Amino acid sequence: MNNEKLFENKIGVIGAGHIGRALILKLLEKGYPYDNIQLTYNGSIFTFSDISDNNLIDMISSNAEIVKTSSILILSVPPQSFKPIGFFDLPKDLLVISFMAGITTETIKKQTGSDNVVRIIPTGPDTITNSQAVAGVYGDNEVAKELFDLLDFDYVMVDDEDKMDYIAIAGCLPAIYCKVDPESDENIEAVNKISEEFPEFRDIAKKCEKLVPEENRDEFVSRVTTPGGVTQAILNGLIGGKSLYDSLLMGIERNKELSNN
């Protein structure tokens, strides 16, 4: 595929945490022009260190500048951090791609000013780096699809935004499968129950089984778990003695709570 036209877009990444950095590094690996990517981050010294270690310092900008100059805006902040950013006042046709769990298209439209919003929830940053990411997408946009193809995402298009609740917990499965054997009766039962409501879940879960690291699983879980996020809610359920199915329902509930924050 000729990506020349795609590469003309200036991409602004708001949120250079684990997901944001993984996206940027994968774009660079695929030949995306360095000068056409800008990023912002929350000021954390740890995030700055990672940005520096990956030679991304020259991409650092401000939210105000990114909003002004980008033709594609990527939102990869924790859902809890989205509202405090404030109103963006974007052109209505500017492409906004959200990697945030929970935050609905309508909420994103209201806060950004753009009517051109695509939501995607992938598995964790390691899978993006390794070209193994599994994802669900809500919102149809050809440029977004080109970008997802460039990033090697294996994604399913979702026709009802409510189904993104199931995508949100599916994105957590590689971490959850570090704690629960995917071949166990407990997992099979949970997957079967959720697949009654969202049939695609069974296939996604099977793909996620292959994304579980063989070593350093605790480190992996820590790296992909956002405090207060959906993965954390599922893990809390398991720690509290709940079944995997009930814990996954807790993840869905947390995803819905995030949309109301």
Selection from 190, 226, 229 nearest residue 208 by Cα? 190
pLDDT 10s digits, 34-90: 999 999 988 788 889 999 999 999 999 999 999 999 999 999 998 889 999 889 999
Provide mean pLDDT across the span 102-120. Answer: 96
Q: Beta-carbon neighbour count of residue 28 at 10 Å?
A: 16
- In this predicted structure, the answer to whether residue 259 has a pLDDT above a threshold of 80 is no
Selection from 171, 130, 137, 180 nearest residue 156 by Cα? 137
Strand partners, 156: 136
Tell me what pLDDT residue 116 has. Answer: 98
Contact 13, 74 (CB under 8 A): yes
How confident is the prediction for the chain on average, in pLDDT?
Answer: 94
Tell me what pLDDT residue 72 has. Answer: 98
- In this predicted structure, the answer to whether residue 94 has a pLDDT above a threshold of 70 is yes
- In this predicted structure, the answer to whether residue 260 has a pLDDT above a threshold of 80 is no
pLDDT 10s digits, 183-215: 999 999 999 999 999 999 999 999 999 999 999
Strands of 134-138's sheet, edge to edge?
37-40, 11-14, 72-75, 95-98, 117-122, 134-138, 154-157
Q: Find the length of the chain.
A: 261
CA dihedral 23, 28, 34, 37 (to 10 degrees): -20
CA atoms of 240 and 238, how far apart (whole Å)? 5
- Provide the whole-model pTM: 0.92
Ordered domains of the chain (ranges, CATH): 6-157 (3.40.50.720), 161-260 (no CATH)
Read off the pLDDT band of 1 (50, 70, 90): low
Beta strands in the chain (DSSP E): 11-14, 37-40, 72-75, 95-98, 117-122, 134-138, 154-157
Tell me what pLDDT residue 44 has. Answer: 81
